[in-house]
Structure 1
């Protein structure tokens, strides 16, 4: 019960890694606010999480919606102790096929959204709090159809490093995570053919897709006092994809 009397904000918290982290934080005593883009999804997530959770419609790229979100958190809880900037989108096409609309959407959510979520949460974030940003394994290994996605996630991790330095006087730690191939609604393993799935898992030393719950365990660790001397780091959660070659 590492998060009793703590309040956590998770953007993009209605499914996948965000929802799994919300479940973990609630189970460990936290009050959790999850955001999503539709009322139906935030209502479903809040119902699943129980009375210690609040679901709010908020597009991370919309600053007015972020302001409304922070106003509600201030009114209901007065402060934040944890921010998991998790909301993100992916454009998985060759470089030559990326459109201006693709570019604008990816930058708006993965860079602008993360940047201003944290900026607007800072007045509420308690000294000694923790920020975790969802980056990607593509920071560490190039992939030809992930040019735009990789660039936005590199920006997100760099933000974690620079904010770790800037917020150190307040005792606020800032880290990022870099998940590998995780089975989520954004990238469902079941939607792949056997050949496609085998090609992916064949690159991973663990020989399988990761689980959202495994990512959630890492996020809650980084957000907890157990990670008190971990700051400005990127934790790769990829089953060995980046650093080892399967036998």
Structure 2
């Protein structure tokens, strides 16, 4: 079986690099008209060049409600609807208890929880029955590890919220699921980890039953499955893509 997203309008937030860009590339390769967002104009333009002639990019900070409103108004004017929403924009900070700052606490919850909430809520009027929302979570929702209590808390909050959201929109015909990756080999992961980075990466490989960390295209394929009609009876689920590490 081959997924096809011909004539589908897909929005991927936080898609200027890493996992988000990988998801956008997979959707574009399968025929979707892809719209990506991000905060860095130069990175967005570079990402757009990999997505083909039908893709578009918008500079959007998902923590800004006014920017989200402007973005969705432009989507309505240009495309008329959203068939697939990948709410991927997010961030994290390494902050052990005793070193947590109010500023970084607020930044993580504002981006990861508030940003996702209003990215989803403001998109719903543009989504018709059969549409799909996939939120990028993290295995930190159940196993945050040392120094990741706040980041893990934001991802756990999303899991709880999705359980309620599918009841709130019951009958709308729009599915909402979470795809939670484990460690993925991206520049963001390398930048995120504290020193010694190489030793921590090796410990992550050792912990995985597969013996390695993930690749961007593996996460993208899992997200695309959840967004597709092949997952039409999957709703409100958190699916872990981490080589089995969360299962042991």
State the TM-score bracket (shorter-chain normalisation). Answer: over 0.9
Count of residue pairs the alignment pairs up: 243
Structure 1 residues 188-227: aligned runs within 5 Å = 188=190, 193-227=197-231
Structure 1 residues 40-59: aligned runs within 5 Å = 40-59=42-61
Offset, 1:118: 0.6
Deviations 1:191-230 (A, max 9, x none): 8654332212111111111011101001100000000010
Partners of 1:182 and 1:193 in 2: CA distance:
14
> Are the aligned partners of 2:86 and 2:135 in contact in 1 as well (CA < 8 Å)?
yes
Q: 1:145 aligns with which of 137, 147, 160?
A: 147
Offset, 1:157: 1.6
Partners of 1:118 and 1:10 in 2: CA distance:
12
Partner of 1:240: 244
> Are the aligned partners of 1:25 and 1:32 in contact in 2 as well (CA < 8 Å)?
yes
Deviations 1:82-133 (A, max 9, x none): 1111000101120211101001100110000000001111111122210111
Structure 1 residues 71-220: aligned runs within 5 Å = 71-188=73-190, 193-220=197-224
Q: Specify the SS of the correspondent of 1:178.
A: strand
Q: Specify the SS of the correspondent of 1:132.
A: strand
With structure 1 as the length reference, what TM-score do the two structures score?
A: 0.94
Question: Is 1:39 paired with 2:41?
Answer: yes
Partners of 1:162 and 1:150 in 2: CA distance:
19
Partners of 2:175 and 2:199 in 1: CA distance:
42
- 5+ residue gaps, structure 1, are none
> Are the aligned partners of 1:161 and 1:175 in contact in 2 as well (CA < 8 Å)?
no
> Are the aligned partners of 1:133 and 1:157 in contact in 2 as well (CA < 8 Å)?
no
With structure 2 as the length reference, what TM-score do the two structures score?
A: 0.94
Offset, 1:159: 2.0
Partners of 1:31 and 1:145 in 2: CA distance:
39
Partner of 1:62: 64
> Are the aligned partners of 1:161 and 1:174 in contact in 2 as well (CA < 8 Å)?
no
Out of 212-221 and 156-165, give the one that drifted further: 156-165
> Are the aligned partners of 1:35 and 1:42 in contact in 2 as well (CA < 8 Å)?
yes
More strand by share: 1
